[in-house]
Structure 1
């Protein structure tokens, strides 16, 4: 089995049950956490996350699917997944719209 250390386009930050936050940058990080440090060893979303992470490491499943499955498993285990928002798109050539007053 060839293992690819593949990163997600955006890391997933998880608030653990103890209150600490931990970031996961890709499939290998997530799978290691699922298999070795996971607080619950059961659950539909946990099982799916393990399977999709393994599949993504073998290029059988898209990375985005493994990332979404990992987030879902975190939520199932009552760990908040704190996902960083994307960059705001700015368009400096557009002027702000002024409110219209109807007198």
Structure 2
């Protein structure tokens, strides 16, 4: 019997220690990334995320809680990818009509 992969509602964009952008789509990816690429394995958020992501990957935990824990661990390690925001819309003056 094969195990179905689980995915978060919104992926998390992180950086490796080398600056490579990586998209993490669910708790299984997150657990692998924490184990293989996180340089800081001693932090409180790292330990919490490791356990919560492993549980959620095994379908024994809550998905979005594992996502939030992973984000906290990435912030703690300084590996969150900066968010690219779209430029704000430019205001355009509307001519007034005079009667």
* TM-score higher than 0.5: yes
Asked whether the equivalents of residues 55 and 61 of structure 1 are also in contact (C-alpha less than 8 Å), the reply is: yes
Residue equivalent to 1:22: 22
Q: Does 1:44 align with 2:28?
A: no
Unaligned runs of 5+ in 2: 86-99
* Counterparts of 1:19 and 1:30, CA distance in 2: 17
Asked whether the equivalents of residues 17 and 38 of structure 2 are also in contact (C-alpha less than 8 Å), the reply is: no
Asked whether the equivalents of residues 16 and 37 of structure 2 are also in contact (C-alpha less than 8 Å), the reply is: no
Asked whether the equivalents of residues 16 and 22 of structure 2 are also in contact (C-alpha less than 8 Å), the reply is: yes
Alpha carbon RMSD of aligned pairs, Å? 2.2
Residue equivalent to 2:32: 32
Number of aligned residue pairs: give it. Answer: 84
Q: Shift of the alpha carbon at 1:81?
A: 4.4
Residue equivalent to 1:59: 59
Q: Shift of the alpha carbon at 1:17?
A: 3.7
Q: How does 1:61-100 map to 2 (within 5 A)?
A: 61-82=61-82
* Counterparts of 1:76 and 1:10, CA distance in 2: 20
Counterparts in 2 of 1:37 and 1:17: CA distance versus 1, 3 Å: closer
Q: Shift of the alpha carbon at 1:40?
A: 1.3
Higher strand share: 1
Counterparts in 2 of 1:82 and 1:10: CA distance versus 1, 3 Å: farther
Counterparts in 2 of 1:3 and 1:81: CA distance versus 1, 3 Å: farther
Asked whether the equivalents of residues 74 and 81 of structure 1 are also in contact (C-alpha less than 8 Å), the reply is: no
